[in-house]
Structure 1
């Protein structure tokens, strides 16, 4: 346990936060896997099924379904946290606009008497959610108090973390019923690519459209820059789903465009979200601090 973590706080999230084992490292970050139901059985995201497996199934014409984490995996994660010596849990879960995960974790947390647990709806997902968790760990290491984290910091991070994604096709969002506020416009034949973010209610919304993949990076960079505020510290995130070379290029451009970032974190899209967005996904995000 980190010596600066005087209040013995652990962080809990789910597999859609896209935190790689390298990013988690030895941090007290515990991950609950969502379930993916395939033609040949049920799998646990990030445990025995990964995004490339989902891409293969989608390309073969199969459309897997996603399912909430079961009660056993939630209680197992909380049991591990307690056994590892932590007393408080800050939980950041996938947007309730996309999933019931936040609600099932919140209900189970209410039954625990051995841990103090605060469960938050991230109103986000993927790198947006992941960089919230990583920043919380930075704050804990810096000696932040539980009350400040719960009452001030995490609500501020939820309100001031802005991820932007380009998807190669709207087909899977439409089939999976998660298209939300994203217009299912008939533009794919013309190479129109939507840039997607999260609305205030946590549903997906289209915030821009560009023609062709080359313009995707330019638009993501512009959208991130629009969120900057003079004198405000910030973190950055970049993610991909089946587009690692493009992500490498975008990450370099982000570093050049935003040289004063406190951190830039990179991730790969999880299996659960891949069911709905397919591959060829590119994302960048900015998180404002101290606002």
Structure 2
């Protein structure tokens, strides 16, 4: 009989409550700020990290979850009798974390040949960030409680991440320019002129979908762009940072235009905020087939 466990990394931005309630195994990223090092979700919560960012002149950096971290987890869960581990992890183009999970499983099986056919690890490259795979993590964990098989859960998760899109706006381009997401000159001009890029994350790639002049038009434009691309009747989520007023505006506008509310909200944690800045708004959704 299968005994299944879901695991993920802290860039999935699932809540502490869901992590505990759904018994999800969490691997936390390390964050460095100058000569100080922190463990995300352990040494601070999101609001505390935003304050740390505000008081730090540089750009914090994050390090990958190592193969050793994964091996330790596999060893622990194997001893606990799990037969199937399903990991949904940060975009492989933005971190070596996914590749490290594969390497660790190979090394684990070399050390435990007796586990062949009895202990399986399915690592899924989310191809994205934050709630784009956080949602899949939560739903996958719920499916265990519903008695679904590992094969059914893996099929769901892969289908979701293959069709998931994020449209979002960073309200300051400082962090995106310093992290290399947006050229520094373009970011400087954009901030001076009040131009906000609506960014699209899909299939490993972060690109600019369109630009908006002025903050007041941002929410409406994201909603319009999402409604043009969303698969009819499917759930969507709101992604946000340190501004709950903007979060609520985004939810209200989507509900007004689409006719039904978001199923969840994802507040960006440290791993995402260091690249986007603490103030963002956007929508996570399943794209219609073209």
Would the TM-score normalized by the shorter structure come out above 0.5? yes
Match of 2:58 in 1: 62
CA deviation vs aligned residue, 1:244-274 (integer Å, no higher than 9, x gap): 221123223333444457x711121011111
Deviation at 1:54, TM superposition (A): 4.0
Give the counterpart of 1:154 among 154, 157, 182. 157
d(CA) in 1 for partners of 2:23 and 2:47?
27
Match of 1:3 in 2: none
Whether 1:110 and 2:109 are equivalent positions in the alignment is: no
Match of 1:208 in 2: 210
Contact 1:163 1:286 in 2 (8 A): yes
Matches within 5 A, 1:189-268: 189-200=192-203, 202-230=204-232, 233-259=233-259, 264-268=263-267
Rg (Cα) greater in structure: 2
d(CA) in 2 for partners of 1:237 and 1:74?
29
Give the counterpart of 2:86 among 90, 103, 112. 90
Whether 1:169 and 2:164 are equivalent positions in the alignment is: no
Contact 2:12 2:134 in 1 (8 A): yes
Gaps of 5+ in 1: 1-5
3-state SS, counterpart of residue 211 of structure 2: strand
d(CA) in 1 for partners of 2:81 and 2:224?
44
d(CA) in 2 for partners of 1:40 and 1:76?
27
TM-score, with length taken from structure 2? 0.85
Deviation at 1:243, TM superposition (A): 1.0
Deviation at 1:33, TM superposition (A): 0.7
d(CA) in 2 for partners of 1:205 and 1:160?
16
Deviation at 1:56, TM superposition (A): 3.3
Deviation at 1:220, TM superposition (A): 1.8
Whether 1:132 and 2:133 are equivalent positions in the alignment is: no
Please, what is the CA RMSD of the aligned residues? 2.7
Give the counterpart of 2:39 among 27, 44, 66. 44
Deviation at 1:112, TM superposition (A): 2.7
**Higher relative helix content:** 2
The aligned length equals: 279
TM-score, with length taken from structure 1? 0.85
Distance 1:111 1:289, change over 3 A: farther
Match of 1:286 in 2: 285
Matches within 5 A, 1:177-192: 177-179=180-182, 184=187, 186-192=189-195
Higher RCO (Cα < 8 Å, 6 or more apart): 1
CA deviation vs aligned residue, 1:3-51 (integer Å, no higher than 9, x gap): xxx6322111100000011233421311111111112422111111344
Deviation at 1:83, TM superposition (A): 5.0
Give the counterpart of 1:30 among 4, 22, 25. 25
Match of 2:112 in 1: none
3-state SS, counterpart of residue 14 of structure 2: coil
3-state SS, counterpart of residue 41 of structure 2: coil
Contact 2:47 2:242 in 1 (8 A): yes
